[in-house]
A and B are shown apart, each in its own frame.
Chain A
Amino acid sequence: MEKYETHVHDVLVIGAGGAGLRAAIEASARGASVGLVCKSLLGKAHTVMAEGGIAAALANVDPQDNWKTHFRDTMLGGKMLNNWRMALIHAQEAPDRVKELEEWGALFDRTKDGRILQRAFGGHSWRRLCHVGDRTGLEMIRTLQERGIHSGIDVYMECTITKLFKDGERISGAFGYWRESGRFVVFKAKAIVLATGGIGKVYKITSNSWEYTGDGHALAYEAGAELIDMEFVQFHPTGMVWPPGVRGILVTEAVRGEGGILRNAKGERFMERYDPKRMELSTRDVVARAIYTEVKEGRGSPHGGAFLDISHKGADFIKKKLPSMYHQFLELADVDITKMPMEVGPTTHYIMGGVRVDPENGASTVPGLFAAGEVAGGMHGANRLGGNSLSDLLVFGRRAGWGAAEYAKEIGDNTLKINEEDIEKAARELLQPFENADGANPYIVHQTLQETMQDYFGVFRVEDGLKKGLEELEKIKRTASRLKIEGSRLFNPGWHLCADLKSMLIVSEAIAKSALFRKESRGAHSRVDYPESDPEWGKYNTVIWREGEEMKVGRRPVPEMPDELKQLFTEVK
């Protein structure tokens, strides 16, 4: 076995987006020695792409707002499949997390009286999204990043983790490689926080960056943790559809929040037929299905989307409130959105499902393994409301960092062991593509996977398709077991993709099996063969776990909320 570096920490955080950074800051503040690993350079994580805002019931603009309304909106948006405790903690703590961000240097857009401005968004009863034009994620990640580097955290950039180690049942460390040199690295840690984000890159049309390959989902699954709700993949209604190279790039919901109108090719404001009350500001699952249906029934725009028009608000307003949308369309699609409508269509954006965690501290079912942010499941149920993701990252990032630091403290001296054979095995597995004399091109395997997921596990699903899709996934798995790459270990993207593919295949299978399992339509999961929601299915979360080499699927009752909270929902009716 070649030499490898070893780093020792109390808490290792994997992923440096909003959740990872917030977890690392918290764990460090609570006295833990913290290592923060990221696949890219610091500050480039997917959080940087978040646009519309962060949801928190500050009631700066609409004084009627409060945590109860936010909680209720979140649960209703998630079709009551959410973990109520997570939704509650989230609604109650989000305002403090936003204010804290401001105290760390973030500069949100202001109200006339100098407070944080809030805007309307789909599924939110009041104007609730704190924002900075349409680049809220950038503001958030930069603020956390700059807080983080002065918090005594060791940051390991451009490093991919491929394996978690356990000593008995407990987490003891992780194995990875430096993307730059291709050399191996071992982290010894008492606790690990997964904050690796989502899975969008398993789909062909996605708003997600290359990093979104489901690494954390896969690492947790392999380590024996449970995944829940994996059938719930959010297709954001408005991605760019033209030109081909930009297909899938996000068009922020803020366009609709600021008054944008959706029309089909016949000029009809079609949301009147799908959700006459909330129209364009309906929840994302509803709007995505509406656009998809309009296109499928022949009323789509020239490039297979719907028209989204904000031009009636005037050029000054648009350039001030939606500057990056203005530039994005002008520069990439030759469309001046101050004068003409955009063409938009659904794009894979987010996964509601993820690692099943304890709402209080982000602990997974594996001792020492924590998860926060998109990689964790439960908070958003069957459909996430826009703006609830950024607040989720902060609220549960902090709690997971806290939980991990506490756990590490309880462990005391680190006597946890990492088996040398496990390290050798992880190294061998990683280097296999260099050894293969022949095999498949990882880029082509990835493309095939993306097409399969897009075709069979998209906005609408049906039993035959799901079964066919699962068979295709099996074939892809076989092909992917023998990959061939060229070049050396020095910054070799082809080789990097081989490791990412392993994660992508695990999450794809989890999505496929969960989607086939849930025989109803709910939130983002739409079954053509079971078009209605079934109250019986509404009592369960789908669960994925590992048994030997086999991926199992089953269900687990949705935790029941206390009566005083139930009342919030009867009051609405």
Chain B
Amino acid sequence: MSEVVLQVFRGTTREQGELKEYRVPYVEGMVVLDALHYIQANYDGDLAVRWNCKAAKCGSCSAEVNGKPRLTCKTRIDSLPKDEPIRVYPMRAFPLIKDLVTDVSWNYEAKKRIPPFTPDKNTDWIMFQEDIDRLQEFRKCIECFLCQNVCHILRDHGRKDAFFGPRLMIKIAELEMHPKDILDRTEFLRKEAGVGFCNITKCCTEVCPEGIHITDNGIIPLKERVVDRYFDPVMWIFRKISGRK
């Protein structure tokens, strides 16, 4: 392989934008972001791409490569089919700004609405590793928003008004499970964050570049909390009244 063919989305609206084809010399170990940088330096200096670290630590360079949501800095060219052009699109769940850059500000606005960490004032701050292992898993999140991008509720149904999405679910999970946090976010979780909207298809878990078990370790335990609080007693009363078991 001496050359790579890329088709990169260019434009400021999804309707009028189109794929533009570029030929880029292949260098061993190259990732998609390297190819995008080559395009900027040699063909189109105004190609809009977000990136920061190029080391899979900041979560800025999210895009859809051959239809799959990926970090472009972590997507090796030699891991993609060689006999077809590499197609790079912006994330679909967010409004387009230009080329591969989308407006992800909603994620920040929604996050701000989550009641913050509220520790017990009299704590000694002793915490054991086994009690925080799962939280450290959630805190690996680099906020690439790929999970938000593939979540059906956000992507296909556009319900950002009703559901906070997987990223913010694990944020809430992390706060709720923190051994020193004393706030109860169950009602917030049910009403404002809309945890009930998740139908556990696990698409978010599949795309997470940090390998966080978003659904199994985060969202399902949150759902259980809500169920325990709001629905079990109802069922209990229902059972009492109707006499059914």
A494 to B128, CA, bound (A): 49
Picked from B34, B48, B128, the residue with its CB within 8 Å of the CB of A110 is B128
Q: Which positions 34-66 of chain B face chain A at CB distance < 8 Å?
A: 34, 40-42, 44-60
The answer to whether B142 touches A138 (Cβ under 8 A) is yes
Query: Which listed residue (A43, A246, A443, A488) contacts B41, Cβ 8 A?
Result: A443
Counting CB contacts under 8 A, is B178 at the interface?
Answer: yes
Once the chains bind, are A107 and B52 in contact (CB under 8 Å)? Answer: no
- The residue that A491 contacts in the complex, of B34, B40, B101, with Cβ under 8 A, is B101
Chain A residues near B127: list those with CB within 8 A.
Answer: 107, 110, 114
Residues from chain A with a CB closer than 8 A to the CB of B119 are 103, 105
Number of interface residues of A (CB under 8 A): 64
B contact residues vs A (CB 8 Å cutoff) = 12, 27-31, 34, 40-42, 44-60, 74, 76, 97-99, 101, 104-105, 108, 111-112, 116-117, 119, 125-129, 132, 135-136, 139-140, 142-143, 175, 178, 181
Can you report 26 A-B residue pairs in the complex whose CB atoms are below 8 A from each other? A40-B58, A99-B125, A105-B116, A105-B181, A107-B136, A107-B139, A109-B129, A142-B139, A146-B111, A149-B111, A243-B29, A244-B27, A249-B55, A324-B56, A324-B57, A327-B56, A328-B55, A332-B76, A485-B45, A485-B46, A490-B12, A490-B48, A490-B97, A492-B48, A493-B40, A493-B48
Chain B residues with CB under 8 A of A115: 125-126
A105 touches B117 (CB 8 A): yes
Which label, helix, strand, loop or mixed, suits the secondary structure of the B interface? loop
CA distance A331 to B175 in the complex (A): 31
Give A146 to B113 CA distance when docked, in angstroms.
11
Known contacts being A105-B117, A210-B52, is A494 close to B98, with CB within 8 Å?
Answer: no
A441 B41 Cβ-Cβ under 8 A = yes
Give which listed residue, B74, B117, B132, contacts A146 with CB less than 8 A. B117
CB of A180 within 8 Å of the partner chain: yes
Contact indicator A110/B40 (Cβ below 8 Å): no
Q: Chain A contacts of B59 at CB under 8 A?
A: 44
Cβ-defined contact, B53 with A49, below 8 A: yes
Report the minimal beta-carbon distance from B139 to chain A, rounded to whole angstroms. Answer: 6
Top 3 A-B residue pairs of the complex, sorted by shortest distance between their CB atoms: A243-B29, A487-B46, A494-B45
Contact A150 B31, beta carbon cutoff 8 Å: no
Given A104-B117, A114-B128, A210-B52, do A245 and B31 touch, yes or no (CB 8 Å)? yes
Chain A residue nearest to B98 (CB atoms) is A491
Contact of A43 with B143 in the complex, beta carbons under 8 Å: yes
Q: Which of chain B's residues has its CB closest to A333's CB?
A: B29
Contact A331 B112 (CB under 8 A): no
